[in-house]
A and B are shown apart, each in its own frame.
Chain A
Amino acid sequence: MRIGVYVCECGKNISATVDVEKVVDYAKSLPYVASSRVYKYMCADPGQELIKKDIEELKLDKVIVAACSPRMHEPTFRAAIEDKGLNPYTLEIVNIREQVSWVHDDKKKGTKKAKSLVKSSVMRSALMEPLDRKKVGVTHKALVIGAGIAGIQAALDIAGSGYQVTLVEKTSSIGGKMAQLDKTFPTLDCSACILSPKMVDVGRNPNITLIANAEVEQVDGYVGNFEVKIKKKPRYVIEDKCTMCDDCVAVCPVIAHDEYNQNLSPRKAIYIAFPQAIPASYIIDPDDCLGIDPLICSKCKDVCGPEAIDFDMKPEIIEDEFGAIVVATGYDTYPIENLGEYGQGNIPDVITGLDFERLISPGGPSTGALRRPSDGKLVKNVVFIHCAGSRDPAKHLPYCSKICCMYSTKQALMFKHEVRDGTAVNFYIDIRTGGKDYEEFYQRAAEEAKVVYIRGKVSELIQDGDEILVKGVNTLTAETVELHADLVVLATGIIPSQGTKDIASVLRLSLGINGFIKEAHPKLKPVETSITGVFVAGCATGPKDIPETVSQAGRAAVRACNIIAQDEIEVEATIAHVDEMLCRGCGVCVETCPYSAITLIDTKRFGNTYKVASVNEALCKGCGSCAAACLNGAINQFGFEDKQILAMIQALGEE
């Protein structure tokens, strides 16, 4: 056996804390090592050439690279040795950057640790065997979950590449939060005007199957072959037959809160979310309706000319297979109820930014004249409070919600356009205008519309007669200040939506500390997730504005197409395997497996039938849970066999 050991300096990243020359010399003294070299950047072409040359000239059969995390360059070096005919799984990476140089500063001790890690890897490498990557077929179809602007864009882009895509939306219409906005910064485009053409495209595109009023219940399978169960709730109105004549609404006796208008206006139990809704069909909310089973009122059915109402609709489970999934489940806003000093939602004229969008929208509850919720009075003085919940790690959200500076500025400007002689005061901590034309937009609000910006927090909001007393501080003048306002708008922060949390648990996606879906790499894999074949776009990974969401959705679509365009793809080779002679069929592994990849099957042995574990090679992700859990040591993982791990531990134990 001939092993080559290659130590990387990574510029000064590694060499500053690890004496790489000493590590190389030490490696040469280890058994099986035929060659050991150092290079400044092993991942660079000359570094790879060094390895390839040695494989040829010294007839190496195993390669060890001591460099950065295998997450970075394992694929690079696997490809390099594969070029020279070695099995990619005979490569071993020793992480002496993230696990040594970056976390230690004592060069002597760092060098010692690097040496012993290299030694343990040589011992493991000696026991490594070539592995084969399995190939599996691919379903040429994608699933997009969530139909806000992110999901709509991703679906359109996948469909535009010529692939079939199914778009699943939880509510009765696509459009998401963007459909609720009146205008968008920094151009003050009417939100519906720029969104509705895309919504119409979704409805018309022959490659897109839209399933609204539905949720993804279960996802099994793996990249290329996800088996998905979608629960479609009954709409009670046949989408194709409904002509949106509105006759049913007139006779419906039930008054309910209109969610689209942030519960600030009434709707009937049979309704359409908003005029541009897609699917363009009414829906009956079974929770609001007087009774569907047994049928109590059914006045709507009596007046429906095209006979579109069908009270016999039942929930439907749609099962389908997809090659890739894009999650675009969006955000919610931080609950106003958590903000004690701002009235906890008990002051009717203290509203959220989304409420304000509906109030000032011509399609909103007060048809555009800005009337406040409590008494319908026209608003003259508005106070906007930035960072309502954001940037407060002690009590609320630790992060900056990114869009609030801009949307508060936009709303102040919209207000001044609406109420020329009104005053708009913004209380802020910092104004963050990181986006194209954003700073100019902020300047425009101040210069053109004379929007007042006061640097400081508001400490308290008190109902004072029919006005709200705002108490706070102006940190620039170092004075505590108070003023009266007709309406106070809280720029509540962005939090992961319930849908995001639900789908993360269905798909078993990793979440970050704040509950947003975690990207595979924060910079270079921003739409990839911990699960191959599942991508994410929009606010499901964190606060984002519309341009960023749209571009991210485009990348998620491309990444999904990368998979569904293939006829077959390779799956991980380091999967679990069962030694049937040792397995006693206890089923602990079945319970442990997070991917439902193990089942108990019958096997004949000595004339008797026994139950033994069996691994579905396509489903297994190689996490190793079963191998660790198996009481008999009957399960092992290719590439991580017990004997290899024990050899490493033994090497590390020897001084």
Chain B
Amino acid sequence: MSYDYIEFGESEKEFTSKIEEISGQNIFSCYQCGKCSAGCAFSNLMEKTINHTMQLVQLGKKEKVLQSNTHWVCASCLTCTVRCPREIDVAAVMEAIREYTLRYEPETIERLDLPEELLKKIPNIALVGSFRKKSEL
């Protein structure tokens, strides 16, 4: 039996507080009623339910949160936000996790790696947009 080690070190605290900062929500308000997951139209497609993700954010479990597809499946329909009894903007938390991923683990795009064929096909605006979003520059 393997035990998942819980600690509240610098990296855990950094992750939790960053998600709180980006979303503007108090993650610790969540008391695990599960209403967000219950009402989510896409819960069945998520690898972890939303309340499970909330708990992992409380515990600072960055890898587990980011590995899961939960926040990417989220369609930001705001059902969770509207229903949360603790008035947490859950969709904002999901968005914060997406933003965290983009801010801290950007997928870099090198212009030279893109095939010439593709460059001819894609619109200029898409190229500029993806450089802005995904390059380290």
Could you list which residues of chain A lie within 8 angstroms of chain B, going by C-beta atoms?
Answer: 381, 423, 425, 431, 442-443, 446-447, 450-455, 471, 474, 476-477, 479-484
Contacts and interface: CB of A to CB of B under 8 A. Distances in A.
- 9 tightest CB-CB pairs across the interface, nearest first? A483-B6, A482-B3, A423-B8, A479-B4, A450-B28, A446-B28, A481-B4, A480-B3, A447-B29
A87 to B, nearest CB: 61
A453 B29 CA distance: 11
The B interface is mostly helix, strand or loop, or mixed, namely loop
A507 to B, nearest CB: 44
Given A476-B52, A477-B52, A482 B32 contact: no
Contacts of A481: 3-6
A451 B7 CA distance: 14
B107 to A, nearest CB: 27
B3 A471 contact: yes
A484 B8 CA distance: 10
20 contacts: A381-B8, A431-B31, A443-B31, A446-B28, A446-B31, A447-B28, A447-B29, A450-B28, A451-B28, A452-B8, A453-B32, A455-B32, A474-B55, A476-B32, A476-B55, A477-B4, A477-B52, A480-B2, A483-B7, A484-B7
B86 interface: yes
Nearest to A439: B31
A477 B29 CA distance: 17
Contacts of A423: 8
A412 B6 CA distance: 18
B28 A452 contact: yes
Contacts of A480: 1-4
Nearest to A424: B8
A482 B4 contact: yes
A518 B95 CA distance: 56
Contacts of B5: 481-483
Contact of B26 (A447, A454, A455, A471): A447
Given A454-B59, A477-B55, A481-B4, 14 more contacts: A423-B8, A425-B6, A431-B31, A454-B6, A455-B32, A471-B3, A474-B4, A476-B32, A480-B2, A481-B3, A481-B6, A482-B4, A482-B6, A484-B7
Contacts of A483: 5-7
A18 B57 CA distance: 61
Contacts of A477: 4, 52, 55-56
B23 interface: no
Contact of B31 (A425, A453, A479): A453
A426 to B, nearest CB: 12
A381 B13 CA distance: 14
Contacts of B51: 476
Contacts of A455: 32
B70 interface: no
Interface string B1-25: 1111111100000000000000000
A452 B58 contact: yes
A441 to B, nearest CB: 13
A468 to B, nearest CB: 13
Given A452-B59, A482-B3, A443 B29 contact: yes
A528 B86 CA distance: 42
Contacts of B55: 474, 476-477
Contacts of A482: 3-6
Contacts of B7: 483-484
A233 B95 CA distance: 70
Nearest to A423: B8
Interface string B48-71: 000110011011000000000000
Contacts of A453: 31-32
Contacts of B6: 425, 454, 481-483
A409 to B, nearest CB: 12
Contacts of B56: 477
A425 B58 CA distance: 11
Contacts of A454: 6, 59
A484 B3 CA distance: 12
A464 to B, nearest CB: 12
A276 B3 CA distance: 48
A429 to B, nearest CB: 13
Contacts of B3: 471, 480-482
Nearest to B29: A447
B13 to A, nearest CB: 9
Contacts of A381: 8
A208 B31 CA distance: 48
Contacts of B52: 476-477
A442 B33 CA distance: 14
A500 to B, nearest CB: 35
A452 B55 CA distance: 9
A384 B6 CA distance: 14
Nearest to A431: B31
A474 B28 CA distance: 16
B9 to A, nearest CB: 10
A454 B28 CA distance: 12
B23 to A, nearest CB: 15
Contacts of A471: 3
A478 to B, nearest CB: 8
A425 B5 CA distance: 13
A452 B57 CA distance: 11
Contacts of A484: 7
Residue with the highest number of chain B CB atoms closer than 10 Å, among A450, A453, A480, A481: A450
Contact of A446 (B2, B4, B29): B29
Interface in B35-84: 51-52, 55-56, 58-59
A484 B5 CA distance: 9
